[in-house]
Every structure is written in C-alpha cells, then in structure tokens.
C-alpha cells in the first residue's frame, strides 16, 4: 500500500497518467482482496442474521428462509474455491458477478422474517448496487450506503445476549435449542473465555468495526471494478470513463484510509496471540461447517 501511495517513479510523462496508474493498482488490489476474501465476505454477510436469529430464536420461525440463506452461502463457497471460476467468470468484478448479490437477497428475506426490516432494506440496497453494470455504480450511492451501514451495523448488545445464552448452555445445562448444537470442543472453547470480559469486549468491538470495514470493502471493490479494466490504457475510453477516473482520483484518500484500517486490524489480530488463538478455533469450526455443506 505504501509503495503505491508514495510512488514517485517517472513511469509516465505527466501527473495525470501517473495518478491513473496508481488508481489501476488500487483497483487491482481491491479485486485481489475481493477474490481472496470471497468466502469470508459470504460468512460475515450472514453472520448478523445468524446471531440475531439465535438471540431471538428466529431460526425456529423461518427455517425455510434460513436454509435458503445457507444454500446461497454454499454456492458462494464453491465459487471461491474454484480457481477457474475466479479467473474466467468473475474476472475484474469478483463481487458483482459472484453469488454475493444473491446471498444479500436471501439474507434480507430471512431478516424480514425475523423482524429486522431496516437491516433487510440495507441488504437489498447493497445487493442492488452490486448487481448494476460496473459503469452504473456511482460514488454518491456508496457515500449514502456507508452512512446507513455505520448507523445499522452495531451488534455489540446482541453479541452479549448471545454469549449469555451460550454461557447458560455451559453452566446450567440449558434446554435452549442452540445448546443441543454445541459440540464438546465448542463448549471447551467458550468455557475458556466465559470470565474474560476484557477479551470478549475487545472481540465484540472488533466484530462491529470489522463488519463496517467489510461492507466498505465490498462497496469500493464493486465501484473500482471498472477501473481495473480501463485505468491502465487510454484506447477506447469515453468521456464518462474520464469523469469516472477523475472521481476516483478525487476520493482516493478514502480508499487508502480503508486499506490502512484493514492493515491495522490485521496487525492487531497478529499481535494479540490470545485473540488469535480464539479466532483460530472459530476458523477451524467454520471449515468443518463448510465441509458438511459440501458433503450435502
């Protein structure tokens, strides 16, 4: 990131050309992240609906919609694990051309069923943005969506409610439906963190910040898909293309800021060994989850 931002090599004869090449590298960076994080994006997209559903017992009220959401996630996971599809089908628009827009829709339908209408509306808006041709994705739409995301993606209290349910599963042998789904290994993992409120608070805060960053990353990746195709050459560009590239140059600081936040979050996770161990255990259980889906 620093190399791109501070690049001073005279690769092109004028400043505008250098700026456009910088934008091309930014766009390709977001494209690469989009492909690398495709499954993670999918899991984190359904994450809010799953935790809210668990806390409110929504899965019991709308099992069919929940299953459709999980089926859509399974399709996305298969796309993410197929190198040929990533290269040949998703190309420079890995989010818009993947299962991701459909996953947002299926998640929105499930959230409608469990009473989360505002979140459902937001998910439908994000899906609509991703589904547009890349030359119709406007920066102003991103700005508005980011405001709504910041207002709505705040689940710290829900996390606490859910953790209390899980805590009761371990300490009181509760008959809650979720308790029956916990493996012995999961119970062991949760038991080691029950009394570490300082760590749980850190995890809950990181989850909210991470989710907000996730959606920012999704929106910018979709917005920059067009730049990944046109920013490194001038032949065939239209007047609209030129305006689009100028718009990116005007707002590139925000994109660098997002990359900086992602870098800082990753560094924090790497340095915090206790948190890293916990998240590693969660990741391992997620792998088992996807294995079960693929077997079906």
Each residue's pLDDT tens digit, 63-91: 888 889 989 999 998 998 888 888 888 88
Task: Please count the residues of the chain.
Answer: 296
Which H or E element spans position 229? helix 225-230
With 50 as the cut, is the pLDDT of residue 280 above it? Answer: yes
Confidence category of residue 144, pLDDT binned at 50, 70, 90: very high
Please list, residue by residue across 259-295, b when 16 or more beta carbons sit within 10 angstroms of its beta carbon and e when fewer do. bebbeeeeeeeeebeebeebeebeeeeeeeebeeeee
Each residue's pLDDT tens digit, 151-196: 888 877 777 777 777 777 777 766 666 677 666 766 776 676 667 6
Closest CA to 225 of 25, 86, 21, 30: 30
SS (H, E, C) 23-65: HHHHHHHHHHHHHHCHHHHHHHHHHHHHHHHHHHCHHHHCHHH
Overall average pLDDT of the 115-125 stretch: 93
Contact in structure between 132 and 73 (CB atoms under 8 Å): no
Handedness of CA 31, 79, 37, 106 (dihedral sign): positive
Each residue's pLDDT tens digit, 28-52: 888 888 888 888 888 878 888 877 8
Overall average pLDDT of the 114-130 stretch: 94
Q: Which residue has the tokens 């298969």?
A: 78
Distance CA 47, CA 42 (A): 9
Name which residue leads in pLDDT, 56 or 93.
93
Overall average pLDDT of the 122-142 stretch: 94
Contact in structure between 98 and 90 (CB atoms under 8 Å): yes
Each residue's pLDDT tens digit, 230-279: 876 777 788 898 899 889 989 888 888 887 777 676 666 555 555 455 54
With 80 as the cut, is the pLDDT of residue 125 above it? Answer: yes
Distance CA 176, CA 199 (A): 25
Contact in structure between 33 and 214 (CB atoms under 8 Å): no
Q: What pLDDT, on the 0 to 100 scale, is given for residue 209?
A: 74
- Kindly report the average pLDDT of the chain as a whole number: 78
Distance CA 101, CA 80 (A): 14
Angle subtended at Cα 131 by Cα 223 and Cα 209, rounded to the nearest 5 degrees: 55
Closest CA to 96 of 127, 121, 138, 139: 127
Contact in structure between 106 and 72 (CB atoms under 8 Å): yes
With 50 as the cut, is the pLDDT of residue 12 above it? Answer: no
């Amino acid at each position: 990131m620093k190399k791109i931002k501070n690049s001073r090599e005279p690769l092109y004869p004028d400043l505008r050309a250098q700026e456009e090449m910088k934008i091309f590298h930014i766009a390709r960076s977001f494209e690469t992240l989009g492909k690398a994080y495709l499954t993670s994006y999918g899991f984190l997209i359904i994450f809010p609906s799953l935790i809210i559903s668990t806390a409110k017992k929504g899965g019991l009220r709308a099992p069919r919609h929940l299953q459709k959401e999980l089926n859509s996630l399974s399709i996305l996971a298969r796309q993410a694990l197929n190198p040929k599809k990533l290269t040949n089908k998703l190309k420079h628009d890995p989010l818009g051309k993947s299962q991701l827009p459909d996953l947002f829709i299926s998640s929105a339908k499930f959230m409608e069923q469990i009473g989360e209408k505002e979140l459902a509306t937001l998910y439908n808006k994000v899906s609509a943005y991703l589904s547009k041709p890349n030359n119709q994705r406007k920066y102003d739409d991103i700005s508005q969506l980011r405001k709504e995301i910041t207002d709505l993606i705040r689940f710290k209290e829900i996390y606490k409610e859910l953790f209390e349910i899980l805590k009761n599963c371990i300490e009181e042998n509760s008959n809650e439906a979720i308790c029956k789904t916990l493996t012995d290994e999961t119970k062991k993992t949760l038991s080691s963190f029950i009394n570490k409120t300082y760590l749980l608070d850190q995890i809950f805060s990181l989850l909210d910040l991470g989710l907000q960053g996730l959606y920012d990353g999704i929106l910018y990746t979709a917005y920059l898909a067009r730049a990944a195709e046109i920013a490194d050459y001038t032949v065939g560009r239209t007047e609209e293309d030129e305006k689009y590239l100028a718009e990116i140059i005007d707002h590139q600081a925000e994109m660098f800021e997002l990359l900086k936040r992602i870098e800082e979050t990753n560094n924090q996770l790497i340095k915090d060994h206790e948190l890293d161990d916990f998240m590693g255990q969660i990741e391992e259980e997620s792998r088992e989850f996807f294995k079960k889906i693929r077997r079906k």
